[in-house]
Amino acid sequence: MTDRSIAIPDAAADKRRLILDAAVRVFARSGYHGARVGDIAEEAGVAHGLLYHYFSSKEEVLATVFRENWRALLETLHRVEADDEPADEKLRGVTKVILRSWRNDPDLVRVMVREVARSPHLQAQVDEVREVFLVLQRIVEEGQAKGVFRRDLDARLASWIIYGGLEEILTGWVLGQLPDGDDEVARAERTILDVVCGGLVVR
């Protein structure tokens, strides 16, 4: 085989990546404030000074973790939005993407939910965060336009409510308060769509 990057993955593993991955684990374990720069470096197996070779500060490490992963999330959501499907199906897609991230990378979700979502850090990234709400809002509006969703609802508020429900379930898992497991994720998917689309009330 010719591709050496596969043959010797670790040699090629760039330290910046190592540091970012370590940071996710350490932030997940200790929280942003509880995490010492030295802990991250140790977890990454590098000298702590190297962290400052790649990032200007501990906060920039967190910001980078957020930025890179949020961007990936946004891309996925944009693909879902672009799908040729009815609005309720798109909502299912968004729900899947967000809820399944928990099983996929629990540490990352831990960090995103606890350190970024409502925290005072990274308020600069407000625009990036807002875009998730906008995706949801556009889906709701599309549903309203197509007559799938009720038109008497404020689409913006609805998007915040939906996102809140999703994030709260992630939070339940993060805090160990909601039962975990693939089945539970599937059940949560169903439930949120049932509640949000169908409503609690018996028809």
Interface residues with a second copy (CB under 8 A) are 31, 33-34, 88, 91, 113-114, 117-120, 123, 126, 130, 133, 140, 143, 147-150, 152-154, 156-158, 160-169, 171-172, 174-175, 177-178, 187-188, 191-192, 194-203
What does 52 bind: a second copy, DNA, none (CB cut-off 5 to 8 Å by kind)? DNA
Looking at the Cβ atoms of 16 and 178, the one nearer to a second copy is 178
Rounded to the nearest angstrom, the gap between the alpha carbon of residue 137 and the centroid of all alpha carbons in its chain is 17
Contact 81, 138 (CB under 8 A): yes
In single-letter form, the type of residue at position 42 comes to E
Q: How far is the CB of 173 from a second copy (least distance, A)?
A: 10
Contact between 58 and DNA per CB under 7 A: yes
Looking at the Cβ atoms of 18 and 28, the one nearer to a second copy is 28
Q: How far is the CB of 33 from a second copy (least distance, A)?
A: 5
- 3-class SS at 59? helix
Rounded to the nearest angstrom, the gap between the alpha carbon of residue 11 and the centroid of all alpha carbons in its chain is 30
Distance CA 108, CA 110 (A): 5
Looking at the Cβ atoms of 47 and 186, the one nearer to DNA is 47
What does 188 bind: DNA, a second copy, none (CB cut-off 5 to 8 Å by kind)? a second copy
Q: How far is the CB of 184 from a second copy (least distance, A)?
A: 9
Looking at the Cβ atoms of 49 and 147, the one nearer to DNA is 49
Distance CA 167, CA 161 (A): 10
Q: How far is the CB of 183 from DNA (least distance, A)?
A: 39
Binder of DNA out of 4, 7, 8, 36 (CB under 7 A): 36
Residue with tokens 């709701």: 140
Which helix H or strand E contains 128, and what residues bound it?
helix 126-145
Rounded to the nearest angstrom, the gap between the alpha carbon of residue 201 and the centroid of all alpha carbons in its chain is 30
Contact 108, 101 (CB under 8 A): yes
Distance CA 59, CA 63 (A): 6
Query: Applying CB under 7 A, which residues contact DNA?
Result: 14-16, 35-38, 46-50, 52-54, 56-59
